[in-house]
Structure 1
Amino acid sequence: MEAKEKILNSAEELFIQYGIRSVTMDDVARAASMSKKTLYQYFDNKDGLVSEVAKNHFEKEASEFEEIDKQATDAIHEIILVSQCLRKHVFRMNPSLLYDMQKYHGAAWDKYLEFKHSIIRGYIEKNIERGKKEGLFRDEVNAKVLSILRVECVQLVFNTRIFPREEFDFPSVQLQILDHFIYGLLTDKGRKKYEEYMQQESTTHTR
């Protein structure tokens, strides 16, 4: 693994686990098993590092979404694969990460907004239209409105004033909101198929 890639991977793991503000360049150098001097050969400051980590992370997520699109047999299967992707990424994030990015790292925040509005919303909108064509989602659902609602709900759960961490379990809240969102889309045919998928997933996890 090249030094720069090692730095980006180490920094990403630290930011996900602890948030951005509490992680220092010393912490990143230590996690990457290199001196701070070597670290600064690749990144002039923490802001530049955060921006590059964000860009790298969002590119990887976009690639995962493309792969899911190829694998999914129908719109509901696609949602389940995306929810598994969310568990791997969003659900393990420190709740302060987005707040830190917005307040202290403007360039990284702009990358997040671009990713949210162009990639994620576009992907959800496309998925909803697919589900409508397959008879799994209700025809009257407005794909654009619901795609906006979905991405804002994901971000809402990061707000600790609304969902204090001492009162709410972050992954459980995300799963509750996701489940509510999916059931709001489904036709009777879709509901039956969704529950079949969930039963299969439950069986797989209990083996």
Structure 2
Amino acid sequence: MKETILQKANEMYLNLGYKSVTMDDIAAELGISKKTIYQHFANKNELVEASTLDLFYKISAGIDSITEMGYDAIEEIFMIRNFLKKNLNNESTSPFYQLQKFFPKTFICLRARQFEKMHGCMICNLHKGIADGLYRQDIDIDFVSRIYFTGLTGIKDSDIFPSDAYEINTVTKQYLEYHIRAIATKKGLNILTKSLSKY
């Protein structure tokens, strides 16, 4: 039952927002009593924390699977992007804005985990891209990895990129192109052009 509650909570939080969804809403969707939820989670803060951690581990496992499939470095980035889009409600900014605003401790913990995971993945991606001649040899790998994370999280700031003017999927694709063009060789740019058309 605990796993079922986490799954439903994640689904509802991503669709409606962490603040908007109540324990009553989750209980009603599952057809159970609120008391049943409280048998597994003491309060909403605990459920939000557990659900974000559960989602993080599932996303991390999915990313690991993609990196083991043998894609070239550039296509790997686009494959991960598509996976995140599919599993994070098109990466809507609203739920995570609510998480940051109303559950700041959970948000800070999640952001630290996201950085650790993304930083490690990007460093591996950069090494692979350099080895295959897709990225320039002279790039500062640690710096590029950190700038990538900063940019990817920054474009989700609704104060800087308001949703009525910037559609998140379009902005993310533009950011990936911006990132790769900054570090790619001619060979890499050819693959980027194909990936932009494909994805």
TM-score (norm 1): 0.88
Matches within 5 A, 1:54-203: 54-90=52-88, 92-199=90-197, 201=198
Q: Which residue of 1 aligns with 2:19?
A: 21
Contact map agreement 2:129 2:135 (CA 8 A) in 1: yes
Q: Which residue of 2 aligns with 1:50?
A: 48
Residue 160 of structure 1 aligns with an amino acid whose one-letter code is S
Quote how far apart the aligned CAs of 1:90 are.
Answer: 4.4
**Aligned counterparts of 1:196 and 1:182: Cα–Cα separation in 2:** 13
**Aligned counterparts of 1:130 and 1:71: Cα–Cα separation in 2:** 13
How big is each residue's C-alpha offset from its partner over 1:173-202, in whole Å with a ceiling of 9 and x where there is no partner?
111111211222210011122333444x26
**Aligned counterparts of 2:140 and 2:109: Cα–Cα separation in 1:** 26
SS of 1:42 mapped into structure 2: coil
Cα distance, 1:11–1:159 mapped onto 2, change above 3 Å: same
How big is each residue's C-alpha offset from its partner over 1:135-164, in whole Å with a ceiling of 9 and x where there is no partner?
110112212111111112222122111111
**Aligned counterparts of 2:51 and 2:176: Cα–Cα separation in 1:** 27
Q: Which residue of 1 aligns with 2:8?
A: 10
Give the number of equivalent residue pairs: 199
**Aligned counterparts of 2:59 and 2:121: Cα–Cα separation in 1:** 12
Q: Which residue of 1 aligns with 2:30?
A: 32
Q: Once superposed, what is the RMSD of the aligned Cα atoms?
A: 1.8
**Aligned counterparts of 2:101 and 2:195: Cα–Cα separation in 1:** 40
Residue 155 of structure 2 aligns with an amino acid whose one-letter code is V
Cα distance, 1:174–1:154 mapped onto 2, change above 3 Å: same
Contact map agreement 1:91 1:174 (CA 8 A) in 2: no
| Identity over aligned pairs, percent | 28
**Aligned counterparts of 2:23 and 2:16: Cα–Cα separation in 1:** 13
Q: Which residue of 2 aligns with 1:205?
A: none
Unaligned runs of 5+ in 2: none
How big is each residue's C-alpha offset from its partner over 1:87-136, in whole Å with a ceiling of 9 and x where there is no partner?
21346233122232223224422331232221111111110111011111
**Aligned counterparts of 1:138 and 1:90: Cα–Cα separation in 2:** 32
